[in-house]
Structure 1
C-alpha cells in the first residue's frame, strides 16, 4: 500500500507544472571595483552573488573558474554591531562584562567569570560545545574561534549557545565543576558582514585566518585564487572580475507561487516531535495527528525548520523527503519536486538502491543541512500542521 502511495506521489511530482529554476550565477570577466561590480549586477541581473550554502558555493566556483584572479562576491563589511549565536539563534539575552563589548576587530566572545567578553577571533582559547546526548562538552584544546566552531560542528553539535539567564548559570556551574580557570570560547560572534541584496544568509567560507582586515580597510569579500577557492577580505577599490546572481520565480504544482526571494505565500506552522520513529512511522504519525511530514521547498521554510529544531534527542530529524530508486530522484511526500536544495556535501546523489530505501533528514546541529539516511533509522521528526 505504501509503495503504491509513493509511486502516485512521484507521478504527481513528475507531472507537475513546476519550474525548478534555481538562483543562476553569471561570471563577468571584466575587472571592476566592488561598487562598480555591484552596480553592473543590479543593472543587468539581480545583484552581486549571494551564497547561501556550500551547494551555491560550488556552483559559483564552477561558473567562475578563473584561477589567476580574485573574484568579487556580494559580501561587504557593514560596521554594524549585530551579535549572533553560531547555532543561528539571535542574541536576545546579553550578559556582557563591564565596558563590553569594546569593539574594534574583537568579533568573537568568551565566557569569563560568568560574563561575556569580546576577543579577536584569531585568539587561541579552549572552548565548550553542545552535544545532544551528553550536554556540555569542554574541549581542552587551544583553537581560534572559527576552528573551535568547526571542531564542535564535526564532533558534537555546535559551540555552546547561552539564550537566557538560566542557561548562563548552567554554563558557569559547568565551568566551575570542571575546574576551568581560563577564558573559554562560546558560540557568540558579531555579524559585521552583509550581502549586497540584504539576504540574511550567515553562510561563510573564509580562508583560515580571514577576515583579518589587514591595514584596517579591507571591507569587501572576494574568492581567492588558491585551489580551495575560499574567501579573503580585500580593499573594495581593487579591480577584479565578479559573479552576479539572477533570481527567478518558481511556480509550484498546486498553484502557490514563490517570489524571487524564495518566500512562499502560505507557510504552515511546524512542530518538532521528540519521538524516535522510522521514516514511515513518522510519516504515518504526522498524517494521523497533524498534516504531513514537512516539505522544505524554499529558503524561508528551511529557516522555519532551523527555528523548530531546538535540542532534539537525535543527531538528525526526519523531513518529508524520499528517494525513488525507480527513477533515481528525490521528491517531497507533498508531491512537490525538489527545487530548492540544501544538501550537505556528499548527500543527495549516488544513493545505494541495493540495500535500503533512503529518506531525507536535517542535521540537528551545525548549519543544519539535509542528509540521506536509511529509512529504518529511528529519529525525531517535523510535522506540518494547520494554523490554529
Structure 2
C-alpha cells in the first residue's frame, strides 16, 4: 500500500491530478491461518483488510456473519471472529509494535477490553464481527477473514462532455467513477475540491427510464440534491454530476464540458510474505 500510495502521489505531481484511495472490504468464507489468509488476499484481492476508522468498522460489521463450516476446529470462534491485517512481529518488546499487513501507517482496530493480552504467543488480530472490536490470538488459529480491494479515485482537470469523459476514463483508467457507497462519496468530495469546474462528471446516466452507473454497479446509495432524483429529467439533462459546493448529485446537460472523476483498481506489485511465528 505504501508503494501504491507513493505511485498516486507521483502521478499527481506529474500530471496535475488530484486523487484519493478507497478501500472496499470483502468477507471470505474460507477457514485459514493468518499467513494463509494473507497469501489468499494478496492473490485474489489486494491484501488483508486495513480498518482505520469507524466508517470502515461499520462497513465490516454490516457484512454480517455467515455460517461457519461444521468441520471447523474452531467452530465457536469462527462464529464470532475474522482475521484482519493487523499483527505484530515484535512480541518480545515491552510495548509490541502493531502494524498492518500492507505496511500502512494507519490507526489500529479498537481493542476489546483487556486486549491485547499475552502477546508473546498471540501476534495476529481478529475482529469480533458483531461489534468491530479486536482481539489478539495465535496466528496458527483458523478463521475466515476480510480481504480488501483498493481503488484510486482521480479528478481529471480536463473539460469534456460526459461521453468524452467516459471514453477517456475507459482508455486511461477503468471507468467514470461509481459513487456507490458513503466512503466513495467522501473521497470523491475530497478530490473534487481541486476541480476547475463547479460540477464534475460521474458515471451516473439516465436511459430507458432509469438512472444507473456506467460501470454497472447497483444504484443503492444515493446523494441527490434537494430537488431529488428526477424520474424523467429533461432530454438533455440525463448525465449525473457531483456539485463541488453542494456535495450532491445533479442531472446536467450531457454536452456540458466539465472536469470528471475516473477510478481504477490498484494491485500489489511487490508485496513479500509477512514472517510471523505460526507454531
Give the TM interval when normalised to the shorter protein: 0.3 to 0.5
After TM superposition, the score normalised by the length of structure 1 is: 0.31
After TM superposition, the score normalised by the length of structure 2 is: 0.42
**Higher Cα radius of gyration:** 1
